[in-house]
Chains A and B, each alone.
Chain A
């Protein structure tokens, strides 16, 4: 299958402090990828950097290709066609993500006018269709309302409508439900997965909520301290995490069935990007830590079909288990 977007060795530094250390990710057409990890692990930064949405003082390097075309460092006009047209993004805090002084109609029609060959009444009709699609009641009348006149869940629906305006091939949902309460959260996720199916759109769901990712994604990448530490199909990752950090994350979740057990917590805290330990960034918190861990940061290495892990110890023991020869 042709890959839709391929990110290679993407690195970001803010004021000389590296926060993203060479991220590799590929996404197939129509695929749903979950990106999990603690705050500050680089989940959002990866996609903001890929789309050129970071502030100017961020140093970005690596490669981001959409259908084979490099977009990192591409001219602004080309980026503007990609953003919203090929790749749309919705954000965590819907209340501040829409412009408070512009009406919903204006913000929605702006996106339509940019990416579709529509004009005049057709734009308005399409805007109305999108608002109905995402489930805004009484959309025709409420188009002339301002963002503050909608609830948080409704604003996130409007954000989704706006993201859909350009018929994107990929939707990046950056913690789309974190700021919403639990029932609304479920509705928004349901809406996202319905739309994704109907429009056969790929999606990246950025979340620190493992449950959300497990339910909505085909594949999951776990990030820690600016690196992807494990990548696997969603069901495999949750059934059998390999990286000690992924094990820790999943061990911290209460099981729905089976006997009650004590939840495990990962000791220690995420290292400060300005003072990264040598070698593996997770080593200071890791139960499996061994001498070679402090030498060099492990790279993501395949351990099975569609599975990769960045841990010297785990990769070695897993390969031995599966009888795969070390490279």
Chain B
């Protein structure tokens, strides 16, 4: 098990390094922060001074090594706009993002999983078809379209809810609904197919053949098996708690990490973008690691393999 853990953790660290490297290179090749921040009208010597101050005139490999050296010391750089530490800017925004993504995560699970189970148990019924149609609509309609649609209905037409901003809890409703619907749809579909797969297995028939009442067959024989694939999707959802709301935050002008990312990318505020990406990679990789260990917990066959790996 120790080796299994070491291999997984090593891979996770490698993933993070790759993400950060990719972001570093792409950002530096895609535009000049000096021009973006100071504007095209700025005199050349000011631009040069700015580039020198931020080390942008150094060769890219030097900047790259410098960046990793700083990370090793826990330095994540400063925003080129206002000079504050990037990490501080990002951390400030996290509560706002979590105020959307955590309730949305709760609703995704609370709606998606029971809907998927119900649809699987009543395969072919009207409710199954309704759930599946909603689910397909839920993940084919992009979140910005859904967001605009909700704004149109509930803010513009009915006037029940505000269309953007962060002044009260009422401002959070539409963004949370937008986030929840798509995720619940994905989860419902996955749970349904996982359940259908499991319900067709011979051990379900064995359980029925020994006289286990159907509801107990579902709860104690089918669900633990169907949980294995479902946990994978849940892992992705947990991983996107920090940065999963970029589009929705932009549409609803919600001052979270996602909006910060959009603004920072537009400005080529390199340190901030890299800091966010590092954070996103960390949460993604961590939640995937947790999922890997949950597999071992849920499936004794993997546990055995892990012990020998």
Contact = CB atoms under 8 A, between A and B. Distances in A.
A163 B210 contact: yes
Interface of A: 48, 51, 53, 57, 76-77, 80-85, 88-89, 91, 93, 96-102, 110-111, 114-115, 146, 148-149, 159, 162-163, 165-166
Interface stretch (B252-260, B286-294, B299-307): B299-307
Nearest to A96: B202
A99 B209 contact: no
Contacts of B221: 99, 102
Q: Which 9 A-B pairs have the closest CB atoms?
A: A84-B211, A84-B210, A146-B300, A83-B211, A89-B209, A99-B203, A96-B202, A80-B211, A111-B210
B203 A100 contact: yes
Contacts of B206: 91, 97-99, 159, 162
A110 B210 contact: yes
Most-contacted residue by chain B among A57, A80, A91, A166 (CB, 10 A)? A80
Nearest to A149: B304
B301 A83 contact: no
Nearest to B303: A146
Looking at chain B's contact residues, the main secondary structure is helix
A98 B299 CA distance: 14
Interface residues of B, number: 23
B9 interface: no
Contacts of A98: 203, 206
A15 to B, nearest CB: 11
B210 A114 contact: yes
23 contacts: A51-B209, A77-B213, A80-B213, A83-B211, A84-B211, A84-B212, A85-B211, A89-B209, A91-B209, A96-B203, A97-B203, A100-B225, A100-B299, A100-B300, A100-B301, A101-B225, A101-B300, A110-B212, A111-B210, A115-B211, A146-B301, A148-B304, A162-B210
Contacts of A149: 304
A146 B224 CA distance: 14
Contacts of B202: 91, 93, 96-97
Contacts of A89: 209
A1 B62 CA distance: 95
Contacts, number: 81
B298 interface: yes
Interface in B172-229: 201-203, 205-214, 220-221, 224-225
Contacts of A77: 213
A162 B206 CA distance: 10
Given A148-B300, A148-B301, 19 more contacts: A48-B205, A80-B211, A81-B211, A83-B208, A83-B209, A91-B206, A96-B201, A97-B202, A97-B203, A97-B205, A99-B206, A100-B225, A100-B299, A101-B225, A101-B300, A102-B224, A115-B211, A159-B206, A166-B210
Nearest to B225: A101
Contacts of A166: 210-211
A148 B301 CA distance: 7
Most-contacted residue by chain B among A84, A115, A159 (CB, 10 A)? A84
Nearest to A100: B301
Contacts of B214: 76
Contacts of A76: 213-214
Nearest to B201: A96
A115 B213 CA distance: 12
Contacts of A81: 211
Contacts of A93: 202
A297 to B, nearest CB: 30
Most-contacted residue by chain A among B208, B221, B304 (CB, 10 A)? B208
B302 to A, nearest CB: 10
A315 B225 CA distance: 52
Contacts of A53: 205, 208-209
A53 B208 CA distance: 7
A162 B212 CA distance: 12
Given A96-B203, A148-B304, A101 B210 contact: no
